[in-house]
Structure 1
């Protein structure tokens, strides 16, 4: 069986890291190829022996990538195409037009969608939560064409990472947010909540890791707020999570929340919202505290509660570690993908 993975993304966010976890696993009887932009983090981070096809996958208006992929499909007798981003999905539909290849599309978000012709060309959707499943169903996709596969945690990387406290002592409660600075991650509400929290929790410090289009605006919003650190892009996320006391995310829209999955595996309690798949990733009042999206007051109260109660943090963290191992297992992640590949290829 010959399989071509496609992604249009140039960075290394949650979806790209999940593809890397998939690429790191030998699949018996499957020869895999990876079509990704040459100037992307994925291209550089793929395993040394991975077969790379440099393509941009910019969608229907990228004839160069469409032609290159179409030629590749025939030259390498590709059986399956797995698109890992929206633009890669569109590129794949055009490239395989009239071909025998089966198409898989991993849709990671829970945004509203409309099926249309491009979705009809997909043989199998993979989503990461029930919220993502419902968004596809509401968009007209039949339930038997959708599989839910939760994100996996990079267990080896997490185990090998050393806790990073950024120079802070044990008397400081480190609150960490790992997220791209985009509108749906809603750092604005997080900073509003922090404005309330820091008045009560004098020993707490908020750390924000990530970059993105809203970063400059959030720096301006945080100007004058005490005990806030912007780290920018970091490639030591596992170490930062292991060094944190609380991991937080204030998203308005969220497929699942990969940083929350990793945090809980590491035994860290969570403060987050009820957006999308977060309610599936985090058990409210068992592994963390959840509040409605955009509610800075309640979000702050949850931050204060966990910041001020060491025993609660420990209890929630212990429960999180146990629960995460049942939901975000790398072994299950690989097995579920392999089952889909074999089924679609008739193996």
Structure 2
């Protein structure tokens, strides 16, 4: 290592979504006098935010989410060359694809410390046994070249330990980082948020935030609203993704009233519009959107996957349903809409549960410790 600030390369496939927000917030929270961060990514809606925050941004177009041997080999070669030339002290990777290519490149380049954040995993129970075992073995191999793994949520950390991805002493549990000063669900904030979304004051609004991807199961969100079958109920999905067009067709066929609000940079200001926050994901780490909804004071219904239970305690701070069961999601939404006293109690308990937790300052401290001192 040379004198001066630690030189950190944050490597992520897409600087977008919850993982992108968390990676960016962590990089921005570090003191530039002690940590000089460069973000290396293939793409992402948050690129302008990173540049506006004064971070160095390096776009590597070959770094893409889908498995593509030609692009993956090219990305590995370019990342190795870049990391070797720039002589970073720490490489911090996020998510599966960048986690694999970035860690291998860092090892080849002789980087002194390699840190990886598990926002979730690429292996799941709904996959074939062969594919699931292959992904687990890949992660175990990558774990042998990883100095420290940061797991977003205790459910993710437990899974990493259970699968033997790294030695127990090299696994840490971390939370997400949210703005606790974001707008809360007051009458005024609710009215302004609904005006931004073009909704009526009398609408009953069931909302969600996330990329329109297979992981998030937006089709179950639409199916739940169809099963709900209530006049005056409107669904709002904030976020974009590769399933945007198929979802528009599905919504038209369903007869449900659903607004696809697209990618927005004012999510915190829009959350007060929701009467219920519903997340139907097939799998997750610890979703940033759920914690932000709790900070806002919106009651939550979510699927019982991975680390969601860290913050959604069934019947205490929200409601949980099994993934892939939109009829149960609809029933839970209906319960909260029909029982405003219950919904308010859950929302108040949820906000109290996360009070003082999941702060950006805490994430910065975790990263400083993970990267190590000179």
Tell me, yes or no, whether TM beats 0.5: yes
Per the alignment, residue 68 of structure 1 pairs with: 82
Cα separation, 1, equivalents of 2:62 and 2:36:
18
Query: Which structure 2 residues correspond to residues 173-322 of structure 1 after superposition, within 5 A?
Result: 173-199=204-230, 202-223=231-252, 224-322=254-352
Contact persistence 1:174–1:204 (CA under 8 A)? yes
From 133, 154, 157, the equivalent of 1:133 is: 157
Cα separation, 1, equivalents of 2:16 and 2:263:
10
From 78, 81, 91, the equivalent of 1:81 is: 91
Cα separation, 1, equivalents of 2:251 and 2:43:
33
Range that drifts further, 101-110 or 89-98: 89-98
Cα separation, 2, equivalents of 1:331 and 1:241:
23
Contact persistence 1:207–1:231 (CA under 8 A)? yes
Say which SS state the counterpart of residue 117 (structure 1) adopts. helix
Does residue 1:150 correspond to 2:161, yes or no? no
Does residue 1:331 correspond to 2:361, yes or no? yes
Q: CA deviation at 1:60?
A: 4.6
From 10, 15, 21, the equivalent of 1:6 is: 10
Contact persistence 2:218–2:247 (CA under 8 A)? yes
Say which SS state the counterpart of residue 7 (structure 1) adopts. strand
Q: CA deviation at 1:24?
A: 2.5
Range that drifts further, 228-237 or 321-330: 321-330
Cα separation, 2, equivalents of 1:143 and 1:48:
35
Does residue 1:49 correspond to 2:58, yes or no? no
The gaps in structure 1 that reach 5 residues or longer are: none
Per the alignment, residue 202 of structure 2 pairs with: 171
Over the aligned positions, Cα root-mean-square deviation in angstroms equals 2.4
Cα separation, 2, equivalents of 1:43 and 1:80:
21
Q: CA deviation at 1:267?
A: 1.0
Say which SS state the counterpart of residue 155 (structure 1) adopts. coil
Change (3 A) 1:15 1:173: same
Q: CA deviation at 1:130?
A: 2.1
Q: CA deviation at 1:256?
A: 1.2
Cα separation, 2, equivalents of 1:290 and 1:308:
17
Range that drifts further, 178-187 or 131-140: 131-140
Normalised TM-score (structure 2): 0.82
Does residue 1:123 correspond to 2:133, yes or no? no
Change (3 A) 1:104 1:228: same
Contact persistence 1:8–1:56 (CA under 8 A)? no
Contact persistence 1:12–1:42 (CA under 8 A)? yes
